[in-house]
Amino acid sequence: MYFAAALMLSSCGYNTMVEKDEAVARAWSGVETQYQRRSDLIPNLVNTVKGYADFEQETLTAVVEARSKATSVQINADELNQESIAKYQQAQQELSGALSRLLVSVERYPDLKASTQFSQLQAQLEGTENRISVARDKFNTAVGDYNTFIRKFPRNLIAGVFNYEQKGYFESAAGSEAAPTVEF
């Protein structure tokens, strides 16, 4: 009896569902790792910029607050629905915006721009942003693979019985589909 049930579950894709669910969890871990890497770089960046006395304190405060908010939003791999992903993404976008404002304001400080330490931190931050993009893409690929698998018949029946639900995707920020206007 148990053998027949195990054979039926494996032939309906239960084991593959488990594997794909684990692949999503691994991909999510990769996303979190890259966001954590970025978060870890920020204190060094802020401290380097603080060394320039007339630097805008408001900009630095915004970065520190956005980092605090972004690191406070945590999602368990079992809760990867569209709503929780959107909440996580919103916090990360706020941090990205604060970092962008910081890097733009640096343009007014030639000594800071010329600082080797600042240049190295900026390069690490840019590399981390690229890693975040790659990790998010891998996550979305794993989610797509998983969601497609559990929605096909008869696997959708098995998925329903064992509470395998669709996972959420990272989506582009609103307005990112339009190219920015560049004026000289």
pTM across the whole model: 0.82
Task: State the pLDDT at residue 5.
Answer: 55
Cβ atoms of 102 and 60 closer than 8 Å: yes
pLDDT in tens, 114-149: 888 888 988 999 999 999 999 999 999 999 999 999
Q: What is the mean pLDDT of each run of 10 residues along the chain (184 residues)?
A: 55 87 96 95 88 74 92 90 94 93 84 85 92 96 97 92 94 58 39
State the burial class of residue 52 (Cβ atoms within 10 Å of its Cβ: 0-12, 13-18, 19+): middle
Instruction: Give the closest residue to 133 by CA, choosing from 42, 46, 53, 31.
Output: 31
CA 149 to chain CA centroid, nearest Å: 23
Is residue 21 within 8 Å of 146, Cβ to Cβ? Answer: yes
97 neighbors 173 (Cβ within 8 angstroms): no
Domains assigned to the chain: 26-134 (1.20.120)
- Helix %, strand %, coil % for the chain, to 5? 75, 0, 25
